[in-house]
Structure 1
Amino acid sequence: MNNGLKTYFLSLLIGTPIIVGTMLLRPFWHSEWGPSTFVLICWMALSLYLGWGGKGKPYSLRFGLIAGSAITLYAVMTFLITKYTGINMYIGMIPFFLLVYVSTKSKIVKDRIREVNPDEGD
């Protein structure tokens, strides 16, 4: 089977229950627990996805948690700042860039690239 066709069917297999679930559980997503649950699901999914190095590559829980937390924190800060203060949404980028800066200074990104692709070091 064609690789693109496999990806399409996998996306369809995963995407359809998500769309149906969001339509059926619409009152829940608008309730008090909806946004918090959405953020938790996004954080877990991003951490798993970003920590995965690829087929046959090592999995890095540390990198996944750091990168997933940075993106999720950016999303939460942008939502909270925009909703409750009315300030421009670009202010929410400050924690994201701060965590990107800290991760580059700690060389975690370079180590992860070197770990996943040994040919592309430095």
Structure 2
Amino acid sequence: MPWWMHVIGFLLGVAGIIAGIVFRPFWLSDWGMPTLLLILFVGTAVICGYGGPGKPLDPLFGLACGCLMMIGTGVALYSHPIIGLATIFGLGYLGSKTKFVKNRHKE
């Protein structure tokens, strides 16, 4: 992985920590949880959709990974963490058995 991706990841992590501290009343309000799920979905979709240097972008794979993380995290936040973890593993297992993911790993 190029050095600049590490720098971007570090800066985004620091920005997330600062946003969590400064905007604490927002995150604890009614809009906090859906916003967190949206940010998680968009971030995961962009990261998983990026194929790497020299590889084509795959936005559908990114959307699938983003939905998996958003659904699992939503279940964990609104019900029980173990149920959310089981949802992530279950949907991930079912998704890994499809041709969609197998074609992604062939590239």
For 1:41-65, what per-residue CA distance to the aligned partner results, in whole angstroms no more than 9, with x for missing partners?
A: 0011001101111112111111111
Other-structure match for 1:80: 78
Superposed displacement of residue 107, structure 1: 1.6
The alpha-carbon distance between structure 1 residues 40 and 98, as it changes in their structure 2 partners (threshold 3 A), is same
Larger Cα Rg: Structure 1 or Structure 2? Answer: 1
Rounded Cα–Cα distance in structure 1 between residues aligned with 2:51 and 2:6: 21
1:97-112 mapped onto 2 (5 Å cutoff): 97-112=89-104
Other-structure match for 1:68: 66
Give the structure-2-normalised TM-score. Answer: 0.81
Rounded Cα–Cα distance in structure 2 between residues aligned with 1:41 and 1:95: 19
For 1:62-88, what per-residue CA distance to the aligned partner results, in whole angstroms no more than 9, with x for missing partners?
A: 111112211221111122222xxxxxx
Other-structure match for 1:119: none
Rounded Cα–Cα distance in structure 2 between residues aligned with 1:109 and 1:41: 23
- Count of aligned pairs between the two proteins: 107
- Stretches of structure 2 that go unaligned for 5 or more consecutive residues are none
Superposed displacement of residue 17, structure 1: 2.7
CA contact (8 A) 2:49 2:57 kept: yes
Other-structure match for 2:39: 41
Other-structure match for 1:25: 23
- Stretches of structure 1 that go unaligned for 5 or more consecutive residues are 83-88, 116-122
The alpha-carbon distance between structure 1 residues 92 and 57, as it changes in their structure 2 partners (threshold 3 A), is same
Give the structure-1-normalised TM-score. Answer: 0.73
RMSD: 2.3
